[in-house]
């Protein structure tokens, strides 16, 4: 059954895999949205602890607990739908979801990425940017499709690569922009409406 959390504005379900710092940015923001549930693909994700400390319902769907990815996607989608979100946010969620998941959650899904997409997709974007020797990288918020960081870009912010940067120092500055962008984009949905309202069902 879905939760009955009070709140105003856009209903947000957040998916996490690790520390949950992007989730915390949403929890700390005084925006026109409410985080109504937090899900994870691993029970030890710190983001779940952040949610529980804030009194937010949580759920976990571990891929190894299912006979295959299709079953995992279906179970994850069912948990998401139970909380009646207007938008789902992948906040450091390190699993690719399927087209079937996106078609059945009933709303768009957003994701943040620590690079200026389409440059440096994948799990090692900051490392890849440093290896490529670029002078500027950044952060992106995009709609999720069934590909790898390939959905439509909604917002971006540039971050300069400094001469003495290593992966941790650059990543920390990029994450600052990711958090700001994510709050701005989700807040903006309160006035523009979730993308799914424009497209009918999530496009991804």
Per-residue pLDDT tens over the stretch 109-160: 999 999 999 999 999 999 999 999 999 999 999 999 989 999 999 999 999 9
C-beta neighbour count of 63 within 10 angstroms:
15
Question: Regarding beta strands 87-90 and 58-60, do their DSSP bridges make them parallel or antiparallel, or are they unpaired?
Answer: unpaired
Is pLDDT of 4 > 50?
no
For the segment 2-31, the average pLDDT, to the nearest whole number, is: 84
| 109 contacts 14 by C-beta, under 8 angstroms | no
pLDDT at residue number 191: 76
pLDDT at residue number 8: 62
Is residue 113 flagged as an active site residue? yes
Among residues 83, 113, 142, 171, which one is catalytic? 113
Q: Give one DSSP letter per residue of 90-119, joined into a string.
A: ESS--SPPPHHHHHHSSS-EEEEESS-TTS
Average pLDDT, the chain: 90
pLDDT at residue number 193: 63
pTM of the model: 0.89
pLDDT at residue number 190: 79
For the segment 176-194, the average pLDDT, to the nearest whole number, is: 89
């Amino acid at each position: 059954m879905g939760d009955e959390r009070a709140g105003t504005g856009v209903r947000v379900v957040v998916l996490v895999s690790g520390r949950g710092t992007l989730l915390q940015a949403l929890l700390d923001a005084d925006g026109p949205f409410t985080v109504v549930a937090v899900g994870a693909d691993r029970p030890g994700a710190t983001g779940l602890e952040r949610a529980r400390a804030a009194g937010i319902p949580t759920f976990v769907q571990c891929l190894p607990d299912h006979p295959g990815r299709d079953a995992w996607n279906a179970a994850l989608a069912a948990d998401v739908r139970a909380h009646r979100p207007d938008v789902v946010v992948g906040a450091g969620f390190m699993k690719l979801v399927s087209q079937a998941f996106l078609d059945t959650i009933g709303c768009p899904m957003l994701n943040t990425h620590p690079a200026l997409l389409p440059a440096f997709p994948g799990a090692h974007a900051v490392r890849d940017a440093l290896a490529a020797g670029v002078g500027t990288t950044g952060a992106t918020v995009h709609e999720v499709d069934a590909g790898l960081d390939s959905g439509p870009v909604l917002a971006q912010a540039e971050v300069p690569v400094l001469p003495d940067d290593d992966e941790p120092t650059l990543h920390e500055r990029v994450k600052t922009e990711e958090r700001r962008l994510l709050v701005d984009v989700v807040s903006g949905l309160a006035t523009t409406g979730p993308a799914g309202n424009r497209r009918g069902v999530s496009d991804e």
